[in-house]
Structure 1
Amino acid sequence: MSIARHGSGAKAALGALASQVHPVFMLPPLAASWFGAILAGEFALVPGVFHAAAVFFGVYTAHVKDGYIDFYHRGEDDDHPMTRRGCYLGLGGATLGFVLSTAALVGLVDAGILFLTVPGWLLGYLHAPQLDTNPVTATVGYPLGIALSILGGYYVQTATLAAAPLAFAGVFLLVLSGVKIIDDATDYEFDRSIDKRTASVALGLDAAFRLAYALIGAGLFFVVAGSITGQFPPFAAVATVPFALVVLVARGATPKLATMLLVRGSYVFLAFLVVAVAFRPLASVPLPDIGILGPYTYLATEIFFGGVAALVLVRTGREAALRVVRTIAVVYPVAYVWDWYSLEVGIFAIQLRTGIDLLGIPLEEHLFMVVVPAFVLAVHETLSESDAETRR
Structure 2
Amino acid sequence: MAIARHESSVSADVRALLSQIHPVFMLPPLAASWFGAAVAGQFAIAIGALHMTAMFFAVYTAHVKDGYVDFYRRGEDDDHPMSMRGCRFALFGAALGFAACTLSLGVIVGPGATLITLPTWFIGYLHAPQLDTNPVTTTLGYPTGIALAILGGFYVQTGTLTPAAIGFALVFLVTLAGVKIIDDEQDYAYDRSIDKRTVSVLLGPRPARRVAAALLFFGLVGVLWGTLGGAFPPASPLAALAFVTIAVIAIRAEPTIATMLLIRGAYVFLALLFVAVWFRPLSGIVLPDITVLGPYTYLTTEIFFGAIALGLLSYADALRRAAFTIAALYPIAYVWDWYTLEVGVFEITLRTGHELFGIPIEEHLFMIVVPALVLGIHETIRTVSADSTVADSDATADSSGTDSTTDNSA
Shorter-chain TM-score bucket reads over 0.9
Residues 358, 57 of structure 1: CA spacing in aligned structure 2 closer, same or farther, 3 A cutoff?
Answer: same
Equivalent residue in structure 1 for 2:343, among 333, 345, 349 = 345
Q: Distance in 1 between matches of 2:223 and 2:344?
A: 34
CA contact (8 A) 1:19 1:81 kept: yes
Cα 1:383–1:84 change in 2 (3 A) is farther
Measured after TM superposition, the shift of residue 132 of structure 1 is 0.8
The match for 2:234 is 234
Using the TM superposition, give the Cα deviation of residue 386 of structure 1 relative to its aligned residue in structure 2, in angstroms.
Answer: 4.2
Q: Report what 1:91 is aligned to.
A: 91
In the TM superposition, 1:284-323 aligns within 5 A as 284-316=284-316, 318=317, 320-323=318-321
Q: Distance in 2 between matches of 1:200 and 1:32?
A: 27
Are residues 1:377 and 2:375 paired? yes
Equivalent in 356, 365, 368 of residue 366 of structure 2: 368
In structure 2, what residue type is equivalent to 1:15? Answer: R
How far apart, CA to CA, are the structure 2 residues paired with 1:340 and 1:111? 59
Q: Alignment partner for residue 333 of structure 2, among 332, 335, 355?
A: 335
Determine the C-alpha separation between the residues in 1 that align with 2:208 and 2:165: 28
Distance in 2 between the 1:6 and 1:383 partners?
54
Letter in 1 for 2:9: G
Residue 359 of structure 1: aligned partner? 357
Match of 1:283 in 2: 283
Partner of 1:175: 175
Structure-2 change in CA distance of 1:4 and 1:324 (3 Å) = farther
RMSD of aligned Cα (Å): 1.9
> Relative to structure 2, which stretch is displaced further, 343-352 or 3-12?
3-12
Match of 2:403 in 1: none
Q: Unpaired segments of 5 or more residues in structure 1? A: none
How far the C-alpha of 1:311 sits from its partner, in A, is 2.4
**Partner Cα distance (1:78, 1:291) in 2:** 67
The residue type equivalent to 2:118 in the other structure is: V
Structure 2 distance, partners of 1:382, 1:170, is 30
**Aligned residues of 1:227 and 1:233 also touching (Cα < 8 A):** yes
1:162 corresponds to: 162
- SS of the aligned residue for 2:281 comes to coil
Give the fraction of aligned pairs with identical amino acids, expressed as a percent. Answer: 61
Q: Alpha-carbon deviation of 1:248? A: 1.4
What is the CA distance between 1:113 and its match in structure 2? 1.8
SS of residue paired to 2:239: helix
Q: Deviations over 1:126-184 (max 9, x none)?
A: 00110011111111111111111111111211222222212211111111111111111
Whether contact under 8 Å (1:239, 1:269) holds in the other structure is yes
Q: Distance in 2 between matches of 1:41 and 1:111?
A: 22
C-alpha displacement of 1:224: 1.1
2:224 aligned counterpart, secondary structure: helix
Q: CA separation in 2, counterparts of 1:174 and 1:83?
A: 37
Aligned partner of 2:200 in structure 1 is 200
CA distance in 2, matches of 1:180, 1:133: 14
Matched, 1:30 2:30: yes
- 3-state SS of the aligned residue for 1:129? helix
- Contact in 2 for aligned 1:309/1:378 (Cα 8 Å): yes
Q: Report the equivalent of 2:133.
A: 133
Secondary structure of the residue that 1:346 maps to in structure 2? Answer: coil
Alignment length (residue pairs): 390
Alpha-carbon distance change, 162 to 386 in structure 1, aligned in 2, over 3 angstroms: same
Deviation at 1:387, TM superposition (A): 4.1
Per-residue deviation, 1:322: 3.4
Please report the TM-score for the alignment, with normalisation by the length of structure 1.
0.93
Single out whichever of 57-66 and 210-219 deviates more from structure 2.
210-219
Query: Contact 1:252–1:386 at 8 Å: present in 2 too?
Result: no
Structure 1 residues 106 and 330, CA gap change in structure 2 (3 angstroms)? same
Distance 1:168 1:78 in 2: 39
- Paired AA for residue 380 in structure 1: H
Secondary structure of the residue aligned to 2:128 is coil
- d(CA) in 2 for partners of 1:325, 1:251: 31
Letter in 2 for 1:351: T
Q: Deviations over 1:287-338 (max 9, x none)?
A: 111111222222221222222222222332x3x4433333222212221222
